[in-house]
Amino acid sequence: QVQLVESGGALVKPGGSLRLSCTASGFTFDDYSMGWFRQLPGKEREGVSYSSWRDGRTYYAESVRGRFTLLRINSKNTIYLQMDNLKPEDTAVYYCARGRIIGSDYYTWAHQGNWNDWGQGTQVTVSS
């Protein structure tokens, strides 16, 4: 049974940092791309970042590039999302996902239909 469990969400002030974790089980971790998505209040879920199973490269949405870093540790079946210089507009529920997607095109990798399984989400609130 596939399980993806996120943790690390919290209330943080603008300009602050936070690190989210997603631990996976029930499948061969190395064989899958792993991604982070978020759902802002009143909006659809959007892609944040993902790590490709094929070449190990990491891709980012333009809105977070340079502030967020995805770290993947295959030996721990875990991915992290290090979020720095957080802004109020980063407030969202953050989800991790697994899939077989590859490639750098945002509109392809961020399409939710290309991901097989999702975690339950963790709330990040950026507010003073």
How far is residue 20's CA from residue 43's CA, in Å, rounded to a whole number? 21
Dihedral angle computed from the Cα positions of residues 51, 52, 55 and 58, in that order, rounded to the nearest 10 degrees: -30
How many CB atoms are located within 10 Å of the residue 127 CB? 10
Q: What is the pLDDT of residue 41?
A: 86
Nearest partner of 4 among 102, 70, 95, judged by Cα:
95
Q: How do residues 92-115 score in pLDDT, each as one tens digit?
A: 999 999 999 999 999 999 999 999
Has residue 91 got a pLDDT over 90? yes
Give the long-range contacts of residues 107-116, CB within 8 A, separation 24 or more.
109/33, 109/35, 109/47, 109/50, 109/59, 110/37, 110/46, 110/47, 110/61, 112/37, 112/45, 115/35, 115/37, 116/2
Q: What is the pLDDT of residue 76?
A: 97
Q: What is the pLDDT of residue 113?
A: 92
How far is residue 106's CA from residue 126's CA, in Å, rounded to a whole number? 25
Give the sign of the dihedral formed by CA 122, CA 126, CA 127, CA 128. positive
Local confidence band at 125 (pLDDT 50, 70, 90 cut-offs): very high
Q: How far is CA 29 from the centre of its chain?
A: 15
Q: How do residues 21-72 score in pLDDT, each as one tens digit?
A: 999 999 999 999 999 999 998 999 999 999 999 988 999 999 999 999 999 9
Has residue 14 got a pLDDT over 90? yes
